Chains A and B, each alone.
Chain A
Amino acid sequence: MAKNRPSALLLFAGLIALAFSAWALAGPDTWGAVAGNNVGWIVVLAAIVVGAVLVLSPSRR
């Protein structure tokens, strides 16, 4: 079964690459205002995503 699970390393690297791509496509200057006002919300969103992944990920066995 473990063979069929997605590779966490590749998935993580792919998501990082997509995030950087989106950041650069939108233009680095546009993020200053967003990040300045909503740092707290960004952290909250990241925490929700990480927590959800840990909760919902299938068990190893």
Chain B
Amino acid sequence: MRARTLGGHDYCMTKTSFSEQLQAMWRTRPVRFPRKGPVAGVAAGIGYRYGVDPVLIRIAFVVSTIFGGAGIVLYLAGWLLLNQAGDPSSAAESLFGKGRSSESQTKTIVLVVALAISVSTIGPVGMGLGGSGLISALLMLGGYWLLHQRQPLPPPLATGDYGSAASVTGYPGADYPVGQYNPAANAYSPYTRLPDSYVPDPPTPQPDPTVTQENIETHPTIRLTKPEADSAPSDPFNSLSMPPSWDPLGVAPFAWDLPEPAGPVATPVRIERTRSRLTSVVIGLAILAAAGTGAMAALGADWLTPGRIGAVALAVVGLGLVIGAFLRRGYGLLMVTGPLIGFVVLASMIGPIDFDRTTMGEHSWKPTTLADLQADYEVALGSGKLDLTSLDLTKDATVKIDAQLGNIEVLLPANMNVRKQSTIFAGETTGIPDGLDGGGDGTSGPVLTLDIDSRFASVEVHRG
């Protein structure tokens, strides 16, 4: 805390260029706390580094994901570029052979692919959704810059999160004295209290067998000698020493250079997250079930539509979730459940798309006699035009128009009697309204019934 406020004061006093600020932002970038966050701990790390509630950071990520999708891009970038707490390098660096990271290479490659996909949906120049992706990304980065201005120096990390012994702070590239030991504390200042009596130094102790080289490396800030007293900063009065936490009343200034009590420091509590194989087993079973039903569908079971194949996989996942609820594991299945439910619902609503038939692409029909008129006109993933202007309607007829994910335009002659019936799911039918329409000459004579089924499609019926 002390180092931060003092350092922040100094930092604001000196004018730094923007590029220096960017370098400082990169040097003192946050670390991720995967155990403190729901996904990868990016928001938790940013929140801790800049002294903000991580919930606010998460809200910013979610909002910018909704408005333009920048949040997911920035989150994935943070996942790749920020070190996990305790790692000497980030996932992206370790992928290119620089340093070591806790993330597996496979996971890193998946992350890179996901990042590329999310960037490509925003667009190469950020013009997706009317440029809102670019704007929200700029807003997020601007907010990050403001956070850095607010708190340029990072707070100390917990001991368990220290990276290598070379880095005092655990932040990559940011070595500064903090907390436990400050060289300036040895310097003479108005607050220095002289001891009441001088006693000769005890004889140099024999090398303690417990102080091994390993111990020294694990506590890099402990200096058993005092060479720093001579090399104190030139301005010792600017960094006045404050009592350490074990001496809140400040009664023992001569011992402030001693390290913090090693009791809680020596035993960093690391709660190992129990890795359960339930998630991967259930997902594997679901994929196998989908493959099995897919094979049955390919062998000729017409009843097995893509929606039903997805539903079989969803049933397996659902059973796994219920089992996992009682075993209290398998939370990873939740990530699969939402998209799978969405797929099953959409696939069931649209119905099976028959790729074998010539229902895709552009179509144009122009029947002239009742013999030419088919009973069924169908379009999937395409557009069709049914021109009935030259049809000679001599008796009542019914035409079924089935449109999935496309559009059909129906052209009627001016005087034909038409009864239009529409079944719509997430689509629209425009033109003449449902019901009997006689055109210009009343409703006497034969009637053509249009039975329209529109799923994610638009059907326009008008008189040409």
Contacts and interface: CB of A to CB of B under 8 A. Distances in A.
A3 B328 contact: yes
B321 A10 contact: yes
A52 to B, nearest CB: 18
Contacts of A23: 311, 348
B311 A7 contact: no
Interface string A7-21: 111110111111011
Given A14-B320, A17-B318, A6 B341 contact: no
Chief secondary structure at chain B's binding surface? helix
A27 interface: yes
Most chain B Cβ neighbours within 10 Å, of A3, A6, A18, A25: A25
A27 B326 CA distance: 30
Contacts of A28: 307, 348-349
Contacts of A9: 325, 334
Contacts of A42: none
B324 A10 contact: yes
Given A18-B315, A24-B348, A27-B348, A7 B324 contact: yes
A25 to B, nearest CB: 5
A45 B308 CA distance: 26
Interface in B325-360: 325-326, 328, 330-331, 333-334, 337, 340-341, 344-345, 347-349
A17 B330 contact: no
A23 B341 CA distance: 11
Chief secondary structure at chain A's binding surface? helix
B341 A20 contact: yes
B337 to A, nearest CB: 5
Given A13-B337, A14-B319, A21 B311 contact: yes
Given A25-B308, A25-B311, A20 B322 contact: no
A14 B314 CA distance: 9
Contacts of A6: 325-326, 328
A8 B326 CA distance: 9
A23 B345 CA distance: 9
B312 interface: yes
B310 interface: yes
Nearest to A20: B341
Nearest to B318: A17
Given A14-B320, A18-B315, A7 B308 contact: no
Contacts of B333: 10, 13
Q: Which 7 A-B pairs have the closest CB atoms?
A: A14-B321, A17-B318, A10-B325, A24-B311, A11-B325, A14-B322, A18-B318
28 contacts: A7-B325, A9-B325, A10-B321, A10-B325, A10-B328, A11-B321, A11-B326, A13-B334, A13-B337, A14-B318, A14-B323, A14-B324, A15-B318, A16-B318, A17-B317, A17-B321, A18-B319, A18-B322, A20-B344, A21-B315, A21-B344, A22-B311, A22-B315, A23-B311, A24-B307, A24-B310, A27-B308, A27-B348
Given A6-B326, A14-B324, A25-B312, 11 more contacts: A7-B331, A10-B324, A10-B328, A11-B325, A17-B315, A18-B319, A20-B311, A21-B311, A21-B314, A21-B315, A28-B349
Interface of B: 307-308, 310-312, 314-315, 317-326, 328, 330-331, 333-334, 337, 340-341, 344-345, 347-349
Interface of A: 3, 6-11, 13-18, 20-25, 27-28
